[in-house]
Amino acid sequence: MQKRKLGKSNLEVSALGLGCMGMSFGYGPAGDKQEMISVIRAAVERGVTFFDTAEVYGPFTNEELVGEALSPFRKQVAIATKFGFKLDPNTGKQAGLDSRPEHIKEVAEGSLKRLNTDVIDLFYQHRVDPNVPIEEVAGAVKELIQQGKVKHFGLSEAGVQTIRRAHAVQPVTALQSEYSLWFREPEAEVIPTLQELGIGFVPFSPLGKGFLTGKITEETKFDSTDFRNIVPRFTPEARKANQAVVDLLGEIAQQKKATPAQIALAWLLAQKPWVVPIPGTTKVSRLEENLGAVNIRLTADDLREIGSAASKIKVEGARYPEHLQKMVGR
């Protein structure tokens, strides 16, 4: 497995990480715990060293799963988790945002226990909290780094001004945001800012929440607990319209003797040497398929052709329902 460095930091990880959210949360019922542990360990065996979780996935159960699965390999891997949501103490459901410094420190203690570790490799602010100046957030994480509880500071779905302000207080190692062939907004301002500041980029949903694999059609029915039911981009009409992106990937995949998912990931890897996508899966066969993307070479001509064809396709539907859209890009 190839390695990549996230920006100017010394955090070196596998070129593809594993997003673990879907094992416990978001895409229908949680997977069987033992099966999910075996998928995470299969990733380690295949050279993956970067694993992504968060306290709100579950809540809490995903961190516990990741902690248990990785405890035998703790020295070889980097674990990223996140703070920044307020959770209802009775139901555990998200109840708004909370990035007050004292809350960040509480979350860190809880995450360390659940992950069964003495240090968090990368601690992201999950969403920017408009009620807490980002300088205070960065300062709180800086203290955790000084105490040896956290190694690196990250932001998720932050806008460029926030990134700059945070970075001035505590260097930001990585920004995690959605980025894929069907959501290319970060190319306008975010990626140039990251390049300038020496910050790594961790695209989540690099396969368009599963759509870019070609396995989802307008006929697909999602489980009642699946987050995609409320995503405008996943209405049957939008799926039908957006099939053009998958068809494009399919054509290139045929030429390269690959799958659409592998082309989507190879395209991301080819954007910058400090981009580390974190596709999620609950199946070892899909894990192996995704990791195969690392060996696919897309030439400058391939990239031009994909870029130009993709730019002619208008993707239908917002990537979040309105109440969640308000939380991104601040």
Average pLDDT over residues 58-65: 97
Say which residue the tokens 């998912």 belong to: 261
pTM of the full structure: 0.97
Per-residue pLDDT tens digits for 164-219? 999 999 999 999 999 999 999 999 999 999 999 999 999 999 999 999 999 999 99
Average pLDDT over residues 237-245: 95
Per-residue pLDDT tens digits for 274-329? 999 999 999 999 999 999 999 999 999 999 999 999 999 999 999 999 999 999 99
The residues annotated with a catalytic role in the active site are 57
Buried b (16+ CB within 10 A) or exposed e, 202-241: bbbbbbbbbbbbbebeeeeeeeeebbbeebebbbeebbeb
- Residue 314, judged by CB atoms within 10 A of its CB (0-12, 13-18, 19+), counts as exposed
Q: Is the dihedral of CA 317, 318, 320, 326 positive or negative?
A: negative
Tokens in use for 150? 């956290």
Average pLDDT over residues 76-96: 93
- Average pLDDT value over all residues in the chain: 97
Say which residue the tokens 């897309």 belong to: 298
Q: Specify the pairing of strand 85-87 against strand 94-97.
A: antiparallel
Is 90 a residue whose pLDDT tops 90?
Answer: no
At residue 129, what is the residue type? D
The pLDDT of residue 91 is: 84
Q: How confident is the model at residue 239 (pLDDT cuts 50, 70, 90)?
A: very high
Domains of the chain: 3-207+268-295 (3.20.20.100)
